[in-house]
Amino acid sequence: MASASDSDKPSVSNVEESRSRLCEEFAAITGTDSAAAQSYLSINGWEMEKALNSFFEADMERIFEEEDFPERDSCPGTKRKKVEGKPAEPCIDLTKDSPASSRKPSEEDDGKLSVISWNVDGLDTDNLGERARGLCSFLVLYTPDVVLLQELIPPYVQYLKKRAVSYLIIEGGEEGYFTGMMLKKSRVKLVESETVTYPTTQMMRNLLVAQVDFKGQKLCLMTSHFESCKAHSAERMKQLRVVMQRMREAPDDVTVLFGGDTNLRDTEVAKVGLPSSVCDVWERLGKQEHCRYTWDTKANNNKTVPYISRCRFDRVYFRPATKDGVPRLAPDHMALVGLEKLDCGRFISDHWGIYCSFSAG
């Protein structure tokens, strides 16, 4: 007969099943294989967060061995090292408006809000320097007021802080990978920010919220990276409900904007439902086909997968202010960005970015 203490122990099959599930989740988050996942998890006592931090820290050390994100990274497989005794490169704002775009905007343009939302795939560290510089080139081209980013890692943020000094950067985390916001200092003023934890996430996901002032208007900005993979549909819908509740309950003198990598499928959105006050910007602007797929392995080969998948994972939701006398913004334009390959032969990310603009109705 088994002793009481033996009966309290989890069975071998349950332990194996639990560890197998952890390996699958680790591999999905990091883009590694099951062998690497098992190695990191076992070394860290099968604690997911410790294993992920260990993985990202190892990758960060490799990234910082490069020459401070050189202007042109070499193509995959070759990395330039720091030159001993070389003086540090001076801080250059790669997002400062170019002469062509620095003309005084018209009164109409001046009141228009522009936003980019982008999963920049910081987990993929190949050509990360050139890809980060590519992001900065889009900031010069579009001069967005707000940038909502997902899958940032600390070295990427450090680079942006050094090179995008015309923006205030808000981070949704400090370790592993996380979301972030960039606010154009000359046009958007931060009032306060907070990070809302998703209580049952298994992938370190949360909701980053910022209250800001834009040209005298109150805005509530949100970004998130919802749970990944088909098997986590229930958790993803929980996270959508949290976002929709925050959007619905915001004061009526506040305009609310969410942009992020939701990993949502249309069936999941239909099950949750959007509040009547909230619109999906892509749908509001006529469901233009050229803006439909933000993760498209048919056109984007950053991820070498043996299948074609075209999904609208990245979405922008909007709730206008309704109080009398408060300017009411409305979406007027959407486009996908990052569709061109960089010199290294890869794209800025495996996701396309979304550019949106909003004007007073």
Catalytic residues: 261
* Pairing state between β 279-280 and 295-296: unpaired
How far from 190 is each of 94, 152, 186, 316, 333, CA to CA, in Å? 22, 20, 11, 21, 25
Over the range 157-176, which residues count as b (16 or more CB within 10 Å of their CB) and which as e? bbbbeebbbbbbbbbbbeeb
Q: Which residue has the tokens 């030159």?
A: 83
Give the number of other CB atoms < 10 A from CB of residue 344: 17
What are the backbone angles phi and psi of residue 316, rounded to the nearest 5°?
-125, 125
Q: Which residue has the tokens 């987990």?
A: 123
Over the range 256-289, which residues count as b (16 or more CB within 10 Å of their CB) and which as e? bbbbbbbbbbeebbeeeebeeebbbbbeebeeee
Contact call for residues 104 and 119 (beta carbons, < 8 A): no
Element holding 167 (H helix, E strand): strand 167-171
